Amino acid sequence: MRPRLLALVVVGGAAGTLARSVLESTFPAQPGAWPWTTFVINVTGALLLGALLGYLAAAGPDEGLRRDLRLGIGTGVMGGYTTYSTFIVEVDTLLRNGHVGTGALYAVVAVLLGLAAAAAGLTLGARAGRRS
C-alpha cells in the first residue's frame, strides 16, 4: 500500500464523514418518521459515486490522477459521506418501535432508489467521460 494513496482515502473519508455529521446534526431524524437526512445522503452519495466512477472508467485507465480521484473522492469522501450502518439502525429502530410500515417502506425505497441513482450516475458519468 502506498502511503500517499492511503492518505487520500483517509483525508477524503474525514471530509465525507464531517459533511454527513453536519447534515445529520442540522437535520436530525424525528422519532417514528422517515429518516430524510440519511435517505438523501445515501441516494445522493450513490448518484455521485456512480457518476464519478462512470466518468473515470470512460475517461481512461485507472492510473495517475484518475486513480487519485477514485480513491480520494470515491472511496474516501463518498465512503465517509454515505452511511448504510445508520440506515440499518434507523430501519431497526422504526421496526422495533412499532413503525413497521414506515420501516419496511424506508428499507425498500432507500435500497431501490439508491441502486437507481447509482445506475443513473454511472450512465451520466460514462457519457461525460467519453466526451472528454
pLDDT number for residue 132: 81
Mean pLDDT over residues 5-27, rounded? 98
pLDDT number for residue 33: 96
Q: Look-up: residue for cell 436530525?
A: 28
Q: Which residues contact 86 (CB under 8 A, 6 or more apart)?
A: 24, 35, 38
* pLDDT greater than 80 at residue 32: yes
Q: How far is CA 71 from CA 7, 49, 58, in A?
A: 9, 11, 16
Half-sphere exposure of 32 (CA within 13 A, CB side): 3
Number of domains in the chain: 1
82: left (phi over 0), alpha (psi -120 to 50) or beta: beta
pLDDT number for residue 30: 94
What would the pLDDT profile of 83-95 be if each residue is shown by its tens digit?
999 999 999 999 9
Residue 50: domain span:
3-131
